[in-house]
Amino acid sequence: MSDYAIKVDRLTKKFNGFTAVNGISFAVRKGELFGLLGPNGAGKSTTIYMLTTLLEPNAGMAQVNGFDIVKQAEKVRESIGIVFQDATVDTRLTAYDNLDIHGRLYGMNVDARKTRIQEVLELVELTDWRDKMVKTFSGGMRRRLEIARGLMHTPKILFLDEPTLGLDPQTRRHIWSYIEKLRTQGITIILTTHYLEEADYLCEQVAIIDQGKIVVLDTPRNLKAKMGGSIISIKTRETKKLCELLSKKNMCKDPRISEIEISFKAENGGKLIPKIMEIAQKAGIDVEGIEMHVPSLEDVYIHYTGSKIREEKAGGSEMTAMRRFHGH
């Protein structure tokens, strides 16, 4: 038997001429927590929709649990759980009723449903809320119930599409703890997110996807290690002038420049900072701030995409194209 829960080969999806996913390939091992990292509109959700059989690809192929996503779509659906980006629990029902209906849809008998409802509610710490109306739940509690529902039929793979989108930092951390619990159960998890710290904290492998393409794929640790050295960031209103001066001294290699900041890799950052300040002072350049830090996943993202990840709500080019495709 294969060690892989998911295999993707040159998967492509277009919407009326717009290419949302452009020939991506990757593989996910059984029991792995795999992250698709990128801004909204990058192609993450479209990828998830294809792998969960909600969209049919224009080209390429993928296998989920050994089943072809096009030819064996029903088998795929039977073996996966999904937590969508948009809330789909019925707020007019209790937590128990939401889970019970889901179990019925998957053909679970009465005893199996009762046992499993108790298990998943305990997992997400909602046992005391089982008979409460979901409309009384907080946003974080509803997300936990969504995760419980996705696990109701004991899937081999769980897809989490932006599971913490819009939640406050404290609630987001709580959701992380529930996701971590799933690792002990051997479930393969596919997580899409545009929160860099989320991908860094949770994922064993990360694929950075931008404009429909995977630009790099590795473990968070390896991705950061490949950056090497330290990152120096300088805030100034004269970024181009200062960068030119530093480049002449071979002190500013492969810089990322905005109107107010320069960032670049440095092997001996601690020794460079006093020299940078001296050069700026002699040139009459006002430095508003300078800092050095070890490479983060954000630095990796900037290095491979050329820009900071966008903190935005759904509605980017990918989602717009999908809505137009479906006639909304």
Task: Please check the confidence at residue 319 and state whether its pLDDT lies above 90.
Answer: no
In tens, the pLDDT along 177-204 reads 888 888 888 899 999 988 889 999 999 9
Confidence tier at 1 by pLDDT (50, 70, 90): low
CATH code (residue 276): 3.30.70.980
Any domain includes 320: no
Task: Please check the confidence at residue 311 and state whether its pLDDT lies above 60.
Answer: no
Task: Please check the confidence at residue 142 and state whether its pLDDT lies above 70.
Answer: yes
Any domain includes 88: yes
Nearest 10 degrees: Cα torsion 221, 223, 228, 230: -80
List the domain range (segments joined by +) for residue 71: 4-223
Average pLDDT, the chain: 89
User: Looking at 17-26, 208-217, 239-248, 252-261, which range is the least confident one?
Assistant: 252-261
Contact yes or no for 67/75 (Cβ under 8 A): yes
User: For residue 172, how far is the Cα from the chain centroid?
Assistant: 13
Per cent of the chain over pLDDT 70 is 93
Q: Which residues pair with 207 in a beta bridge?
A: 36, 217
| Best-predicted range by mean pLDDT (5-14, 264-273, 297-306, 319-328) | 5-14
Contact yes or no for 140/122 (Cβ under 8 A): no
Confidence tier at 314 by pLDDT (50, 70, 90): very low
Read off the pTM: 0.79
Query: What is the spatial distance between Cα 87 and Cα 121, in angstroms, rounded to a whole number?
Result: 18
Q: Which residue has the tokens 């290419």?
A: 19
Any domain includes 309: no
**For the chain, how many structural domains are there in total?**
2
Question: Are 11 and 142 found together in one domain?
Answer: yes
Q: Which residue has the tokens 């790099």?
A: 216
> Residues for the chain: how many in total?
328
* Cβ neighbours of residue 257 closer than 8 Å, sequence gap 6 or more: 239, 240, 243
Any domain includes 312: no
Task: Please check the confidence at residue 271 and state whether its pLDDT lies above 90.
Answer: no
In tens, the pLDDT along 74-106 reads 999 999 999 988 888 999 999 999 999 999 999
- Domain finish residue from 168, 198, 223: 223
In tens, the pLDDT along 227-245 reads 877 889 999 999 999 999 9
Question: Are 19 and 54 found together in one domain?
Answer: yes
